[in-house]
Amino acid sequence: MATSSSTLLSGAQTGFAKGSDYDKHRPSYPSEAVSLLLTNLSLSNRPKAKVLELAAGTGKFTDLLAQAEESFDIIAVEPHDGMRVELERKKLEGVQVKKGFAEDIPVDDGWAESCICAQSFHWFSTPAALSAISHKLKPHGTLGLIWNVEDYNNTLRHSSPHQWTLTLRKVLFQLDEASPADTPALRFRNETWRKPFKSENEFESIQESLVPWTTYLSEEALWARFCTLSQIASMEGGELARTKKVFEEAVRKEGTERDDEGKIAVRGNTVVVWTKKRE
């Protein structure tokens, strides 16, 4: 997870310390969403295209890029040592892994046909970062953003008929409100990532699309996924125990949708965003 400077915010440093847990419990991306993104970035049917993945994390999206039939030439940049180790372990074909930051990207200017930020742009959504990305792109280069967003981790304006998701969302927004000054609430759900696109910048207006999905998880698996959110992952002791109690009470209430095996229906969307450099 990159930040807008050459250092990691403390919330990212501690919240993503367990890179293996993140890699194990976070979902991959729906093929429909991946195809939609690659098409709108002009990467489909473009063999050997040069792709910069910024804040690649443990490589959840990098893996999909590496498997693409286009055999992309990929540079995956990740500042967090723990997450980068997980990415390097995968030894993905066609992928160079480098340490870097959103404003200090270790790639030659004009190298990339496209830059992709998967589950990460909210951490470094500043005009300076957008400018740095622009410099790494070729003329008419494209920028793509993608997020997997469970309903419990979505914006306040996103509706959900399921009470347990609203309860967990309330927990997350309360944590946002209590964030210390050195760990601002830089999350997708707060929509701060939109701000740099609303001021003068090097890119055209963003385009967006949603791919809805439903998955079914056991209570234990859902808790494990919830714990990969940086604010929950950094909890310890009594605070973690209290949060788990709220979680358990919420998902065990009557009316929680389950399948025949008792697994909980978890709904969400994959948010796909794309734009390109201005001519």
pLDDT at 188: 96
In a domain, 4, yes or no: no
pLDDT reported for residue 248: 98
> Would you say 110 and 88 are in contact if contact means Cβ atoms under 8 Å apart?
no
Q: In this predicted structure, what is the pLDDT of residue 8?
A: 47
End-to-end Cα separation, the chain, in angstroms: 30
pLDDT, residue 279, reads 84
Q: Is residue 125 part of a domain?
A: yes
- In a domain? residue 205: yes
Q: Which of 33, 89, 111 is nearest to 274 (CA)?
A: 33
What string of pLDDT tens digits covers the 279 residues of the chain? 444 455 444 444 444 445 577 788 899 999 999 999 999 999 999 999 999 999 999 999 999 999 999 999 999 999 999 999 999 999 999 999 999 999 999 999 999 999 999 999 999 999 999 999 999 999 999 999 999 999 999 999 999 999 999 999 999 999 998 877 666 678 999 999 999 999 999 999 999 999 999 999 999 999 999 999 989 998 999 999 999 999 999 999 999 999 999 999 999 999 999 999 998
Which residues touch 239 (CB under 8 Å, ≥6 apart)? none
**Which has the closest alpha carbon to 276: 209, 203, 208, 207?**
203
Q: Is residue 42 part of a domain?
A: yes
| CATH at 184 | 3.40.50.150
Domain membership of residue 3 (yes or no) is: no
Range of the domain at 111: 10-276
Structural domain includes residue 216: yes
Q: How many domains are contained in the chain?
A: 1
Is residue 150 domain-resident? yes
Rounded Cα distance, 190 and 147, in Å: 13
- Residues 45, 68: Cα–Cα separation, whole Å: 10
* pTM of the predicted structure, to 2 decimals: 0.91
pLDDT for the residue 21: 79
DSSP class of residue 192? G
14 inside domain = yes
The per-residue pLDDT for 11 is: 45
Going by DSSP bridges, is the β-strand pair 207-217/95-98 parallel, antiparallel, or unpaired? unpaired
Query: How many CB atoms sit inside 10 A of residue 47's CB?
Result: 10
Q: What is the pLDDT of residue 25?
A: 85
